Amino acid sequence: NAGVTQTPKFQVLKTGQSMTLQCAQDMNHEYMSWYRQDPGMGLRLIHYSVGAGITDQGEVPNGYNVSRSTTEDFPLRLLSAAPSQTSVYFCASSRGRGNQPQHFGDGTRLSIL
């Protein structure tokens, strides 16, 4: 049981490049989310999904796209990377709502030069 798997763990991009951060979970969870963590800011929600084919924006969605074609996968796309997107990115999943805890991946450290 792998839980939530994020790839890659580290990535360096140049401004203007595009890339996709991968997230996969094997727990059959309905909810999946992407957060970014910046120093002194805690974690902020980028996009989330309540099930396959359904996504919505969080607090800081600009510059990011998501899709959810399967229950297991929830990739995050940076269309044209900017230095302001330098951050640590976390994917999380949970079973429905309520007090079910979110299970987090190990994070991706992304640097945009």
Partner 1 sequence: AQTVTQSQPEMSVQEAETVTLSCTYDTSESDYYLFWYKQPPSRQMILVIRQEAYKQQNATENRFSVNFQKAAKSFSLKISDSQLGDAAMYFCAYRSWGGSQGNLIFGKGTKLSVKP
The residues binding partner 1 (CB under 8 A) are 31, 33, 35, 40-45, 48, 50, 56, 58, 88, 90, 92, 94, 96-99, 101-102, 104, 106-107
Nearer to partner 1, 1 or 42 (CB): 42
Q: Which two tokens stand for residue 72?
A: 């297991």
Between 16 and 53, name the residue whose CB sits nearer to partner 1.
Answer: 53
Least separation, in Å, of the C-beta of 29 and partner 1? 11
The kind and range of the H/E element at 91 are strand 87-94
Distance between first and last Cα of the chain? 36
Closest to partner 1 by CB, 77 or 109: 109
Q: How far is the CB of 80 from partner 1 (least distance, A)?
A: 26
CB of 79 to partner 1, least distance (A): 23
Least Cα distance to 32 among 107, 85, 90 occurs for: 90
Pairing of strands 76-78, 19-25: antiparallel
For the bound state, the minimum distance from the C-beta of residue 82 to partner 1, rounded and expressed in Å, comes to 23
Q: For partner 1, give the closer residue by CB, 2 or 14.
A: 2
Surface-to-core class of residue 29, CB atoms within 10 Å of its CB (0-12 exposed, 13-18 middle, 19+ buried)? buried
Structure tokens at 43: 């974690």
